[in-house]
Structure 1
Amino acid sequence: MEPDGGDSYTEFLVEAVRAVPPRYVQQRLAPKAELLREVNSHSTMLVVAPWISTIARDLLRRHQIAYLDLTGNVDIRVSHPAIIIHTDGAEKDRRPAVRGTSQTTLAGAKAGRLVRLLADVEPPHRASDLHQASALSLPYVSRLLGTLEDQLLIRRSGRTITAVDWPQLLRARSQVTKLLGNDSYLGFLAPNGLPSVLNRMPQAPARYVDGLSVTGSFAAQRFVHVAVGGQLMLYVAPWLDPVDVADELGLLPVTEGADVLLLKEPDEFVRQGSEVVDGVQYVAPSQAALDCLAGPGRMPAEGEALLDFMEAHPQQWRVSWNAPGAPYPQH
């Protein structure tokens, strides 16, 4: 563009791609954009893709690369003439997976196990360590680690994982999960208030104490206080019948206005690293953060506050493979 015949103009070098992994931005696009600025100050690189992740968008802005995706995520900034266009689109890639592709994603219970391990246990890690501790197949672990490396969520030296960006890893996992999915929970009312439910839990038979885990807001509020109250969410282990649990805790079934949610436990690993306090089992901070980030209403804000606490106090929740009493198998 060249208004009024002057020299104030810009041109875009368009890079149209199907996907924008953060490692591709770092290793391929950033050097190309830097070189383009050196040889032609009137040129701006513009990346166009069906969808661009939050991490990739942050990297593109950091390297002064314009972007546009088909969901409405746009950031175009030009100095001469002065142009700023910024809009937010989808935070999740809503395209169906391409049939026949082999990329392993962060969705599903198996990925949840690996995410928890990478967050909770300090590096260094090897794929074989993660395979043994998670009981996942070694080929699956290797494929998912490749995906995480592309997303710059882990860094490796040879075959050893030397660093994990665990806050971004937990955020990325939460974007592909939904805490309250269809048929994943039942709602109840506590007629005597939520404190009465927490008081009754230690008095229940041992199988209830072991099989019920507090998550969500009440688990986060052990460490941070964004707001008081909220729904009491309990994971229910497979060996417990939610109806029996409700009877044991004095809960009434309701179709709306529930203040207690009994959640079907998606995988036994959600109990990994849990802590019993005054006879009540609470999920580990990393699981509570994941569930809050993937929850409704104000829960994502509670999840972010919990992440801040976890970053400031890693000694209160992170462990090493060989730490005495570590919640994961030692190596």
Structure 2
Amino acid sequence: MDFDNLTPESLLDQGLQALRDLLGPTWDVTVQPPQWNPTGEGRSLDALVQLQPDGDNVYTQLLVDLRASVTPRVVEERLLPKLDLIRQVNHFTNPVVITPWIAPRVQLMLRENGIGYIDLTGNVSLRVTRPAIVLYTEGDSRPPRSSAARSSKATLAGPKAGRLVRLLADVAPPYRAGELADAADLSLPYVSRLLDTLEDQLLIRREGRVITDVDWPELLRARAEQLNLLRHNPYVGMVAPNGIKATLKALSALPEMYSREIVLTGSYAARSVAPLAVGGQLMLYVPAGPHTPDDVGDDLGLLRVDKGADVLLLRAHDKVVFERTVYENGVHRVALSQLVLDCLSGPGRMPAEGEAVLAHMQEAPELWRAPQIPA
């Protein structure tokens, strides 16, 4: 669907048509005459829509808010104050947002606060007490390509975003954009643009230019949505002829300067933090050289295979995966924040393992989060 040239009138028409299709032919969906504010400077609302079953005197009204996009910050700063005002004045009018697309996290915020929504990809939620209406449908969970392509805002995709996300998760605020840019080896303009995006998503909070709070669990989840562990880190499959334990023992016997670039992640790493299941493939990050996986495989006594691998050697997509690692039982493990990202974006049961690690991290953040940006 092309959203590039949507006018407010077209957005309203398409949103209400979606509502009519869901309610069926026995309901009247009527746009009421415009409501003008006392100063005559324009309408005080986008649209007032009346819903009424055929042959019934009972009806309800929807106060429609038309928006090109809806972010968590818009919900908090614009829609919730409007909702409070509506509830003080009229309990029979229901606020509804109509927009081209709504992200899953924003949908949840709207539902939790009793605000209806309709987007043009099929995400709909509307609950009315009288006359009784309960609608909930799911559409696209990702933004349409046209919307993503025309956005000039920085996103959480790409290795540069990964460096900033890791730093925000691993270090407790307060700090400024310049400090983050220096520590993550990124340009200040890029960091500033991405921080603006994160603030819009309520993933960070700022007072002036100082970041005072980071919602790091949701930040990690949001970053993981942009990742695919095995696609973004090209891997080589191996078989451990003598078993996984022998491979880990061989790894711990390597010189420390060499082994620090062979870093454990995935299910085996998650199990050492928050045991959830047994089995799974042993995953090790290695530097991204063309022959590095084969060299490491030889040192660990592994055999390269096309199918049935029980060890995956992942060429690291960025140096950040080797930062702030933990040395345990003779093996270097990725930092907890990187482990969450890898598991949430991994195959099979790995996302559940990632959530288990995330829950473990939330129990005592002070044990793994640095109090300030390292020098």
Asked whether the two chains share a fold, i.e. TM above 0.5, the reply is yes
Q: Which of 227, 245, 253 is residue 195 of structure 1 equivalent to?
A: 245
Structure 2 CA distance, aligned partners of 1:302 and 1:34?
Answer: 40
Is 1:284 matched with 2:343? no
Provide closer, same or farther for how the CA distance between residues 96 and 248 of structure 1 changes in structure 2, counting only shifts above 3 A: farther
Structure 1 counterpart of 2:300, from 246, 249, 260: 249
Letter in 2 for 1:296: P
Is the Cα contact below 8 Å between 2:233 and 2:316 reproduced in 1?
A: no
SS in 1 for 2:223: helix
Q: How does 1:215-294 map to 2 (within 5 A)?
A: 215-238=265-288, 241-294=292-345
Q: In structure 2, what is the Cα distance between the partners aligned to 1:61 and 1:109?
A: 33
- In the TM superposition, residue 155 of structure 1 has moved relative to its aligned partner by 0.5
Establish whether residue 148 from structure 1 lines up as the match of residue 202 from structure 2: no
Query: Residue 116 in 1 paired to residue 166 in 2?
Result: yes
Q: Contact 1:76–1:85 (CA<8 Å) still a contact in 2?
A: yes
Residue 73 of structure 1 corresponds to: 123
Whether the 8 Å CA contact 2:125–2:135 is kept in 1: the answer is yes
Task: State the secondary structure of the residue aligned to 1:47.
Answer: strand
1:73–1:193 distance in 2 versus 1, CA, 3 Å: farther
Q: Which moved more, 1:85-94 or 1:274-283?
A: 85-94
Any unmatched runs of 5+ in structure 2?
1-50
CA drift of 1:270 comes to: 1.1
**Could you say what secondary structure the match of 2:332 adopts?**
strand
CA distance in 2, matches of 1:70, 1:237: 44
Distance 1:275 1:304 in 2: 20
Aligned to 2:30: none
Whole-angstrom CA distance in 2 between matches of 1:186 and 1:83? 54
Aligned residue among 47, 57, 72 for 2:107: 57
Q: Deviations over 1:96-141 (max 9, x none)?
A: 5655642000111111111111111111111111111111111111
The alignment's C-alpha RMSD in Å is 2.0
SS in 2 for 1:181: helix
- Tell me how far 1:36 sits from its aligned partner: 2.9
The 5 A counterparts of 1:5-84 are 5-84=55-134
Q: Secondary structure at the match of 1:168?
A: helix
Judge conservation of contact 2:63–2:93 (CA < 8 Å) in 1. yes
| Counterpart Cα distance in 2 of 1:180 and 1:90 | 24
The amino acid of 2:348's aligned partner reads G
Which residue, out of 329, 353, 356, partners 1:302? 353
Q: CA deviation at 1:300?
A: 0.8
1:235 and 1:190 map into 2 onto residues whose CA distance is 16
TM-superposed deviation, 1:154: 0.5
Q: Flag structure 1 segments of 5+ consecutive residues without an equivalent.
A: 322-327
For 2:41, the equivalent position in structure 1 comes to: none
Helix, strand or coil at the partner of 1:221 = helix
Distance 1:90 1:188, change over 3 A: farther
SS at 2:273 equivalent: coil
Instruction: Report the counterpart of residue 209 of structure 2 in structure 1.
Output: 159
For residues 48-94 of structure 1, the C-alpha deviation after alignment (integer angstroms, 9 at most, x for no partner) is: 23322232112211221111333433221111122222233443335
Aligned residue-pair number:
324
- Indicate the residue corresponding to 1:329 in structure 2: 374
Counterpart of 2:225, as a letter, is Q
Residues 1:85 and 2:130 are matched in the alignment: no
For the structure 1 residues 72 and 263, does the alpha-carbon distance in structure 2 shift closer, same or farther, using more than 3 Å as the test? farther
Of 306-315 and 232-241, deviating more is: 232-241
Report the Cα distance in structure 1 between the residues aligned to 2:270 and 2:118, rounded to whole angstroms.
36
Asked if residue 132 in structure 1 is aligned to residue 132 in structure 2, the reply is no
